[in-house]
Amino acid sequence: MVRCVLLFTVLVGMALPLMPSVRAICTASVSADRVAACAFNPLLLLVERSGWVLSKQNCGETIGPEAFTVPPVLYYDYTEPDHLYTVVFVAKESGHPDPFDGGERRFYLQWLVVNIPESSLAHGMTYMDGDTIVDYLSPGPRSANADEDDGHPTRYGFYLYEQVYGAIYPPTPSTREYFNLDGWISTIYPEAAVCGPVASIGFGV
């Protein structure tokens, strides 16, 4: 019996250094160089007023900004029962990077909602669901400033995160510009309380 316990202790001691941290398993960074909104499980977005749909089949397409003048309805089929979720809607920052950026991933924040019930996503999350941290701002075309216009569409992405420990009460970002997504997630207590992205969808304008 003692020999078995010793063997188990040795095996655990050897395995622990090889195990990644909870945050490494739980979160994936979103590259600011390319809003990789088609890289995760697909969300489905419906604009009720126009009937326009964004799904896995047309993820990444360039569309007119009028398609999202009002908040879309978000659907996700693979929610965990009784869990809450966070939706982040961001755009790739155009123009020159923040000189104090330090290489961190920063975006323009379009919309931020937390504490969304899984039932809302299953039946269609609207702007009335969850707790809005930053109000919805419809996407627009890239600035006409010659220094910022590189001839490519502005990339937008909706990202869904799972709140593994229930309701969260995060800080409100001080500005929409140069929103540090990874940094904002790191401020939420306890560590690894927000996991993901578990789903996403994106487009260009």
Which H or E run includes 74? strand 73-75
Q: Is residue 9 part of a domain?
A: no
Q: Is residue 25 part of a domain?
A: no
CATH of the domain at 76: 3.90.280.10
Instruction: Calculate mean pLDDT across residues 4-13.
Output: 38
Q: CB-based burial of residue 141 (10 Å sphere; 0-12 exposed, 13-18 middle, 19+ buried)?
A: exposed
Tokens at 182, concatenated:
């990874």
Q: Is residue 37 part of a domain?
A: yes
pLDDT band for position 16 (50/70/90)?
A: very low
Q: What is the pLDDT of residue 185?
A: 92
Cα–Cα distances (Å) from 60 to 29, 39, 48, in that order, read 19, 10, 20
Q: Is residue 180 part of a domain?
A: yes
Q: Which has more pLDDT, 95 or 162? A: 162
The string of pLDDT tens digits covering residues 158-179 is 999 999 999 999 999 999 999 9
Q: Is residue 3 part of a domain?
A: no
Residue 95 has pLDDT above 60, yes or no: no
Domain range enclosing 161: 32-143+150-204
Are the beta carbons of 79 and 118 closer than 8 angstroms? Answer: yes
Q: Is residue 198 part of a domain?
A: yes
Q: What is the domain count for the chain?
A: 1
d(CA 30, CA 182): 8
Q: Is residue 106 part of a domain?
A: yes
Percent of the chain with pLDDT strictly greater than 70 = 71
pLDDT band for position 94 (50/70/90)?
A: low
pLDDT, the chain, mean: 79
The string of pLDDT tens digits covering residues 111-155 is 999 999 999 999 999 999 999 999 999 998 655 444 455 567 889
Beta strand segments in 76-152, E: 84-92, 106-117, 131-134
Q: Is residue 13 part of a domain?
A: no
